[in-house]
C-alpha cells in the first residue's frame, strides 16, 4: 500500500469511528433528556444528532475525495471535502436555530421542569470524554492529511465539549433551584455552535471560491527568487483543492537560455517549491527578457535563432559613436539571388529594430552546407596519398603538429577531409582558429587532391594538457 492509499484509509477509519461515537452520544442524550426534561441535554442531543449526520457525510466525502483525477475531474475530487464541510456548517446553524427557539419558548412560557439526576450528570460527563477523544483523533488525522472535512468534524466534537460543559453548569444551577438556568445554558450552547459554524463556514467558502491560501504566494515567490537564473516572478496564483495546493507561476528569465537549459530551470523551480510545500501541484510558465548584460553580438544570435536565420561570424565595430555590424547569414543553397537577398534585407531590418539605434549593417550571404550527401570512403592508396600531402603542407605551419585521425570521404566527385592536430594548450583560441583556417585553405588550394572542404580540429598537446570534466 503506497503512502497516499495509507492516508486515505486512515481518513476513512477515523471518519467511521466518528459516526459510531455520534450514534452513542445521540442515543444517550435523547434518552436522558426525555427522562429528566432537561432542555440543555435535549439541545445537546439534537446537536449530536446533526453531528452524527455530519460525520456520515464526512465519511462518504473522504472516501470520494481520495479518488484520483479522471477525464471529468482533472483536478481530482478534493473539493468534495469542502462541500461536505459547508453542509455541516449549514446543519450547525439549523441546530442552533432550533435550540434558541425551544429555550426562549421555555423561558417565556415558564414551562421549566428539570430533574438534575445523577444519570443526567453522567451522560454529560461521558459525552465530554468521548468528544475530547474524538476531537483529538480527528484533528490529528486532519493535520496529517490536510482534510478539510475531518477538520470540520473535529470542530464539531470540540464545540460539543464546550456546549456540554455549559449544560453541566446549567444542571448544577438546577440543583440549587436557580430557575431557567437550563434554558439559558441551552442558549449559550446555541451561540457557541453558531460562532464555530461561522468560522468554519468562512474557511470552507473561501476554498470553494478559490480564495488564495494565506502566505502561499509570498512563500512561493521567495523560494523561486533564490534559484540561479530566475530574474523575477509574475502572476503567482495558488488555490486549495482538498489537501493539495495548486500553484501557477510565471518565471522571468534571460532570453539567452536555450530550450534544454529552460527545461532544467523549470524542474529546479518545481523541486524547490515541492521541498517547501510537499502537497503541491505546480505549473510553471516562463517569459524571456533581454538582460542588461546581453551584448549586441549575443542579441543578433538570439534574433537569428528566434526568426529562423542561421547566423555566424558576427562582428561589431564602433567608430565615432556609430556602430558597424557585419555577419554571415546562411540561406538555403537552392534559393535564387533575389530570394536570398530579400531574406538578408529582412534580417537587417530586424537587427536595426533590435539595436534601436543608427548602425551600418552588412550581411554576407552564405549558402548553407546543412545537407546530407551519400558518400564513400576513398581507397587506401588515395587516403595514404592525402595523408602524406597533409603532413607535407603542415610543415608550412609549425605551430600545428602531429596530424592524426585523418578521414576522407568522396561525394559528387569531391573529397571532404577531417584532420586532428595538436597545438600549444595556452595558445589563444583566435590564433588556433587562424592556423586551422590557413591549413584548410592550403589543402583546398591543391587541385590534384580535389578537396572541396577540409575540417581541422585543433587539440591541446596531451603531455601539456590536463583534461577538465565540466558538469
User: What is the tens place of the pLDDT at every residue in 23-32?
Assistant: 766 666 677 6
> What is the distance between the alpha carbons of residues 72 and 75, in angstroms, rounded to a whole number?
9
> What is the distance between the alpha carbons of residues 16 and 8, in angstroms, rounded to a whole number?
12
Report DSSP letters for 20-71, one per residue: HHHHHHHHHHHHHHHHHT-HHHHHHHHHHHHHHHHHHHHHHHHHHHTSPP-S
Kind and range of the H or E run holding 171: helix 148-175
Handedness of CA 406, 409, 415, 416 (dihedral sign): negative
pLDDT at position 415: 85
Intervals of the chain under pLDDT 70: 1-19, 21-22, 24-29, 32-34, 36-85, 88, 106, 109-120, 144-153, 155-156, 162-163, 166-167, 170-171, 174-182, 206-213, 241-243, 369-374, 412, 463-471
pLDDT at position 210: 63
* pTM for this predicted structure: 0.53
Alpha helix positions (H), 257-404 = 259-276, 296-307, 337-355, 380-394
pLDDT at position 72: 63
Grid coordinates given for 297? 553580438
Domains in the chain (CATH in brackets) are 3-208 (1.20.1510.10), 216-289 (3.30.70.1350), 296-367 (3.30.70.1350), 376-464 (3.30.70.1350)
pLDDT at position 19: 67
Residues 6 or more apart whose Cβ sits within 8 Å of residue 229: 253, 254, 257, 261, 265
> What is the distance between the alpha carbons of residues 456 and 461, in angstroms, rounded to a whole number?
15
pLDDT at position 295: 86
From the number of C-beta atoms within 10 Å of its C-beta (0-12, 13-18, 19+), residue 329 rates as: buried
Grid coordinates given for 284? 510553471
What are the phi and psi torsion angles at 251 (to 5°)?
-95, 135
Helix (H, G, I), strand (E, B) or coil at 77: coil
Grid coordinates given for 451? 578537396
pLDDT at position 471: 38
Amino acid at each position: 500500500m503506497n503512502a497516499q492509499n495509507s492516508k486515505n484509509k486512515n481518513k476513512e477509519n477515523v471518519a467511521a469511528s466518528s459516526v459510531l461515537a455520534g450514534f452513542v452520544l445521540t442515543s444517550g442524550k435523547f434518552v436522558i433528556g426525555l427522562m429528566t426534561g432537561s432542555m440543555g441535554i435535549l439541545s445537546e442531543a439534537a446537536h449530536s444528532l446533526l453531528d452524527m449526520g455530519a460525520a456520515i457525510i464526512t465519511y462518504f466525502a473522504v472516501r470520494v475525495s481520495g479518488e484520483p483525477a479522471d477525464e471529468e475531474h482533472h483536478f481530482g475530487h478534493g473539493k468534495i471535502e469542502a462541500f461536505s464541510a459547508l453542509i455541516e456548517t449549514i446543519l450547525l446553524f439549523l441546530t442552533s436555530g432550533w435550540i434558541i427557539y425551544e429555550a426562549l419558548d421555555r423561558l417565556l412560557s415558564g414551562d421549566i421542569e428539570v430533574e438534575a439526576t445523577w444519570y443526567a450528570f453522567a451522560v454529560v460527563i461521558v459525552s465530554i470524554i468521548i468528544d475530547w477523544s474524538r476531537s483529538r483523533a480527528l484533528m490529528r488525522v486532519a493535520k496529517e492529511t490536510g482534510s478539510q472535512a475531518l477538520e470540520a468534524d473535529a470542530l464539531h466534537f470540540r464545540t460539543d465539549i464546550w456546549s456540554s460543559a455549559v449544560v453541566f453548569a446549567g444542571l448544577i444551577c438546577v440543583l440549587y433551584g436557580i430557575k431557567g438556568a437550563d434554558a439559558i445554558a441551552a442558549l449559550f450552547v446555541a451561540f457557541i455552535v453558531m460562532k464555530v459554524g461561522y468560522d468554519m463556514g468562512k474557511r470552507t467558502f473561501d476554498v470553494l471560491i478559490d480564495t488564495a491560501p494565506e502566505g502561499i504566494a509570498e512563500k512561493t515567490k521567495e523560494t523561486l527568487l533564490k534559484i540561479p537564473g530566475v530574474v523575477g516572478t509574475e502572476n503567482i496564483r495558488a488555490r486549495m483543492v482538498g489537501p493539495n495546493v495548486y500553484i501557477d507561476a510565471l518565471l522571468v528569465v534571460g532570453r539567452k537560455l536555450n530550450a534544454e537549459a529552460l527545461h532544467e530551470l523549470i524542474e529546479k523551480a518545481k523541486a524547490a517549491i515541492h521541498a517547501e510545500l510537499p502537497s503541491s501541484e505546480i505549473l510553471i510558465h516562463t517569459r524571456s527578457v533581454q538582460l542588461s548584460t546581453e551584448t549586441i553580438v549575443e542579441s543578433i544570435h538570439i534574433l537569428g535563432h528566434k526568426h529562423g536565420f542561421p547566423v555566424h561570424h558576427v562582428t561589431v565595430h564602433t567608430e565615432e559613436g556609430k556602430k558597424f555590424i557585419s555577419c554571415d547569414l546562411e540561406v538555403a543553397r537552392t534559393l535564387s539571388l533575389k530570394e536570398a537577398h530579400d531574406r538578408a534585407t529582412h534580417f537587417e531590418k530586424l537587427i536595426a529594430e533590435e539595436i534601436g539605434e543608427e548602425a551600418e549593417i552588412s550581411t554576407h550571404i552564405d549558402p548553407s552546407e546543412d545537407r546530407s550527401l551519400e558518400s564513400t570512403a576513398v581507397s587506401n592508396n588515395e587516403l595514404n596519398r592525402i595523408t602524406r600531402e597533409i603532413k607535407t603542407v603542415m610543415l608550412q605551419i609549425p605551430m600545428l603538429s602531429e596530424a592524426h585521425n585523418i578521414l576522407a570521404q568522396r561525394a559528387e566527385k569531391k573529397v571532404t577531409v577531417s584532420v586532428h592536430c595538436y597545438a600549444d594548450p595556452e595558445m589563444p583560441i583566435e590564433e588556433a582558429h587562424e592556423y586551422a583556417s590557413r591549413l584548410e585553405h592550403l589543402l583546398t588550394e591543391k587541385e590534384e587532391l580535389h578537396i572541396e572542404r577540409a575540417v581541422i580540429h585543433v587539440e591541446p598537446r596531451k603531455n601539456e594538457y590536463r583534461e577538465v570534466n565540466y558538469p
